[in-house]
Structure 1
Amino acid sequence: MRARHLLIAGRVQGVGYRDWMAREAGRLGLSGWVRNRADGQVEAVISGPEPAVEALLTLARRGPRLARVDAVEERFFEGEVELGFVRR
């Protein structure tokens, strides 16, 4: 398992993106966190089995119904990730 750090750009704040991602991550059994950034992006760290991580990455590129995702920047995350998924 390897963790991923994501920066999601577009219309992703004020549209339920964080709640949606937390639900999807929980459904997939992933750990990590998601939060809004002052620059209008959403930032997340996700960790878990590779197929589940890939599934959430695919979903993150679409987002919830009211979101518009313009870009997802992805890189490996080397820090510790606590069990469970939280919205910050």
Structure 2
Amino acid sequence: MIVRIMGEGQFALAESHLAELNTLDEELLAEMENGDGPGFRKTLHALLDKVRSLGSPLPDDALEPSELILPSPDASLDEVRDLLSGDEGLIPG
């Protein structure tokens, strides 16, 4: 699967890693709902770091369709909240 980190690029990531990403996504969603800014920031960075460490970066000139689009590392809690629909996190499932 292809994961895009906004403002950074795309990463090829095995779907077998979705469970790890979902765990962090659930934490992120809970922190957003509780208005926990510091916790949100820490978990967002952990989620993006996990994508970077488990995935392989695609070349800058590659334009593959992305199955997942994650916010940039400096995205605010409100910006990420706007990306979400309903009670789903950033990662469906």
TM-score relative to the length of structure 2: 0.41
TM-score relative to the length of structure 1: 0.43
Q: Which has the higher helix share?
A: 2
Answer with 1 or 2: which has the greater Rg: 2
Q: Which has the higher strand share?
A: 1
